[in-house]
Structure 1
């Protein structure tokens, strides 16, 4: 038996559902692929509206999209490539749309797309778009069912009400699965934020290597302070320390990564805080300079850099304490001194000549040489991200030719200048600054806040932070976004456009943080303490499974009972009439088994005049028993809306 053909309105609705299903997935794919797939979807839908698309043309489109996937992603099977292939197949699926069977197939296939989007991103925006796609798909399936049996479509409100009830039926089972299904010691959603696409800080630095990182304004971490908050010029978030230099590339010392932290005399002021670290494919953590100890699950090396045992591919939280150092490794081991003075031969001769000249003029006063270098940078240099790629003598080119760059150039050149003068020095990478979110009272450090500064070793003081970038561009380090646009007030009209936009972005980040806390951070540890409020301290996996099984049986039983209740009366008109009867039963005016619809309505009208039930009963009788079906849609709506009139029973 052939499947009925689609009406024009239903075909349009199915195509819109396809677009809604594709949208959350396309937004997570590379921009070029997303545009290609979106254009293909539109062209295929327009072509197939009146004409069947020839098989050779469909095969050509498949080949083009496969070539685009290869161009953007290469031949590496995995999550991202699989999601791209799914989007490509769905883009041409509407070419087969002819009848009801094809429409159901397209909707079923399309629902894979929003679920695939969750493999790439688990943010609230993806959830909302996916939920909208699922609702639209259920509405489309309801429309197809109406067309198949030949009944008129219900009003939009009634259709939404039906779909809402179906989703409410599934909600208890979904929540019990989220809360009780045992999981690995990582968040349920796997790999948030496509961590592999956000590299973050690493254990090396070379010219031009930070451009992509410093152009990314997405959050790298969020910080909540418990008690005092450090001043803006003290918010240096310490990451990997780079000591070895080969003339172009700075790297970490392996001996320091696995060594014990040296002695530090900390200042009296302490900062207690929690870092919410966004996913990355690295193991390196950051902490406010300097951390007092490594938080649980991390390791503090001999350079006072933190790292995790595994890549931070999921959202993670770290409770820490830090304090400024009054003396940081006041006794420098000879081996480390040699490493902190090491310079490759045959590189940057002009810089080394200048270092020796300044050393002879400064005598035995390293602090004076540091100050002279900072004054030179402040006077003659500029801050810019637009720098040419350095040649062999990168430091010479920066200090004597370009005299403009960003933190990567300033810190590397300053350390080479100090080492040439016999002062131990090294590069420290991390982040600087942070913007307070006024809605959640926490600080957001973005990837573009990535920063590199220097540490020099001075007698009696040990390692001392020196930031040459701040000498030329203090606003890059010390100014916050609020200082520039966030609190602009235009008097009676409130904030200007920049301030309003800043507030909107901050509120969006506040909502995202709440989502992270409620959903993405619901990991195995939090699950174990789920029922602590009622005295159950911890649940092992077998107990969780048993608890979930119990909730699942209850939820499925409730769903079966409600569905069976609806199945007992398939006619929506009769179901609506019985529902109306139950409203009057609460007032003692329910229909008696022996009463006809007209007799019952007349009795109710005598008890509560003006109830309009007489007119409804006549329309119901005509539709139900006389076969007058032209008024069914409006009658159903009126039956659903009707409520008993207030009055006194007689």
Structure 2
């Protein structure tokens, strides 16, 4: 007899296999960069179309595979990392349908495809990825069951509802163990092993800034962080979320300085306001943190530089929470060290001569000590002549000169960079501060959402007797010359339905972050406190986990101990019926045929035979005469078997 696994697969089962593989691939594609996802997705459609009726030629398969691998490497700039590996996995899965025509091929495709949802969680752990991955796994399991029916030549006898019920039982077997592992497996402060870094950077704040580089960031409306305040809440115009502080300038790009060590000894006189809050920071794959201007101290797990830039000890590859206190300063480093002053005044030679000449003219006219007059003059000029827009051309060598004297339109990168150059040329220590500005209050959850599109850059100038002072030159632009900001908040405020929908969606995502992604060692310690366990030490935790695993294994054995016949509702009803005759000493033996059992009952107790003979004949016909397992007749038989009871007035039965 031929091996069924090597026979050609009937078209309907092959279509189910291809659909399952496509659904497995979908969540992974959604987490890859759009260019990579589009290339791999289009290749998958082409491969399926070319191999729809017959296997693709081996040489053509090899050519497509090499081309797709080359495209992935080129689009990822030949950087090797976590997302590049996931993209190569997706590319191989896109090519696999070209050789899927037998039962063995289909099983190989599905086994390979199930790696894709798991790889998705290396890039994202959000609820959408979980729902899509779980749906893909369920469909793949259902298809594998169909393939098993094909191999047994019984594909037409099992309805879809029964197949889905069997898949549900498989999930029910493993679910208790999965929950026990999630709740009780010891939460470690650091992973036992590492995973590769991402090769393609996420959009977000970085340690450098060149005018025009932030367009992608400012068009990204995904959340960067969520903040929950304990007590006083600052006004929205006070919400400057401080990130990297940029000191070094080479004529085009601003960068963080590497000359200082950890912060310490910076004299600060905080104001009366004090804000305590917790930020939920989305993954950035960097060590950079943000905090309201100015953080009082570095939270646990981070350090603070002398410019109050917070850096985590480890890259933020996953969701993280930070409890921080901030206070607006009255004085911030009123005495500036000589070395720091030199860095804050440094400008490259032979760059932006017109801007440097104008700033020196302002200094001569204001006098050697009136720094405030120079600052006011720059802000007045911006208010009078400049516009805010994201549609800006790429600037050349003298970027600041082109912006100030020719273009006179740009966004925060242009304004902050040019303003700091003017201040330094006028002899005023200045630096660029990047981060986020503002935020949006979720009315349902009562917390604030800061999106990546809220990215902002402003300036800090050093003022005698006061120290570093925030100046936001972008805010000086006249409102009538703000042409586009890519902020949808104004439209959302007018559309209450859309705003409420966004509030609900983000609130649900925050709940997922809180109860799933944020389930850490502290939350685990508090898990069993309502049951009287005040402290969940490692020994108790391991014992509880072992107990949960043991109970889970017993659950698995109990659910899986029945064979296929006992899972049929008619068989279960028939076995229960026979047990009802146990009190008469006439229960059916396991190996006794149905009609032989009825004959034995009729011979011993004719008063009990009655309807049992009719039901036994119907059951025997269903079992051995080709009766359908589904349909109305089967449901009627099941109902009749469940309803049958021995006669209540039978001789020898107690009343």
TM-score class, shorter? 0.7 to 0.9
Aligned CA distance change for structure 1 residues 399 and 480 (closer, same or farther; 3 Å): closer
Q: 1:487 is matched with which residue?
A: 493
Partners of 2:454 and 2:621 in 1: CA distance: 73
Aligned CA distance change for structure 1 residues 365 and 590 (closer, same or farther; 3 Å): farther
Consecutive unaligned residues of structure 1, counting only runs of 5 or more, are 489-494, 601-605
Partners of 1:643 and 1:374 in 2: CA distance: 89
Q: Confirm whether residue 622 of structure 1 aligns to residue 621 of structure 2.
A: yes
Give the TM-score normalised by the residue count of structure 2: 0.85
Partners of 1:220 and 1:267 in 2: CA distance: 28
The answer on whether the counterparts of 2:389 and 2:485 sit within 8 Å (CA) in structure 1 is no
RMSD: 3.7
Of 520, 523, 541, 2:520 maps to: 523
Q: Confirm whether residue 149 of structure 1 aligns to residue 149 of structure 2.
A: no
1:175-213 deviation digits (Å, cap 9, x = unpaired): 122233345425899879969531522333223332332
The answer on whether the counterparts of 1:155 and 1:637 sit within 8 Å (CA) in structure 2 is no
Partners of 1:162 and 1:453 in 2: CA distance: 60
Give the TM-score normalised by the residue count of structure 1: 0.86
Partners of 2:268 and 2:64 in 1: CA distance: 65
Q: 1:295 is matched with which residue?
A: 299
Deviates more, 1:136-145 or 1:89-98: 89-98
Partners of 2:536 and 2:389 in 1: CA distance: 55
Q: Secondary structure at the match of 1:276?
A: strand
Aligned CA distance change for structure 1 residues 613 and 501 (closer, same or farther; 3 Å): farther
Of 567, 573, 577, 1:577 maps to: 573
Matches within 5 A, 1:417-432: 417-432=422-437
Partners of 1:250 and 1:316 in 2: CA distance: 28
The answer on whether the counterparts of 1:362 and 1:369 sit within 8 Å (CA) in structure 2 is yes
Consecutive unaligned residues of structure 2, counting only runs of 5 or more, are 589-593, 602-606, 650-655
Deviates more, 1:118-127 or 1:552-561: 552-561
Q: 1:409 is matched with which residue?
A: 414
Matches within 5 A, 1:2-401: 2-3=3-4, 5-151=8-154, 152-186=156-190, 197-198=201-202, 200-363=204-367, 364-401=369-406
Aligned CA distance change for structure 1 residues 519 and 445 (closer, same or farther; 3 Å): same
The answer on whether the counterparts of 1:244 and 1:251 sit within 8 Å (CA) in structure 2 is yes
The answer on whether the counterparts of 2:211 and 2:252 sit within 8 Å (CA) in structure 1 is yes
| Per-residue deviation, 1:312 | 1.7
The answer on whether the counterparts of 2:461 and 2:471 sit within 8 Å (CA) in structure 1 is yes
Partners of 1:555 and 1:439 in 2: CA distance: 38
| Per-residue deviation, 1:544 | 4.1
The answer on whether the counterparts of 2:203 and 2:216 sit within 8 Å (CA) in structure 1 is no
Aligned CA distance change for structure 1 residues 353 and 46 (closer, same or farther; 3 Å): closer
Partners of 2:384 and 2:247 in 1: CA distance: 28
Q: How many residues align?
A: 628
Deviates more, 1:410-419 or 1:256-265: 256-265
Aligned CA distance change for structure 1 residues 150 and 591 (closer, same or farther; 3 Å): farther
The answer on whether the counterparts of 1:486 and 1:503 sit within 8 Å (CA) in structure 2 is no
| Per-residue deviation, 1:539 | 4.7
1:469-509 deviation digits (Å, cap 9, x = unpaired): 01116698999968502232xxxxxx4xxx43443333222
| Per-residue deviation, 1:127 | 0.8
Aligned CA distance change for structure 1 residues 472 and 553 (closer, same or farther; 3 Å): same
Partners of 1:65 and 1:249 in 2: CA distance: 35
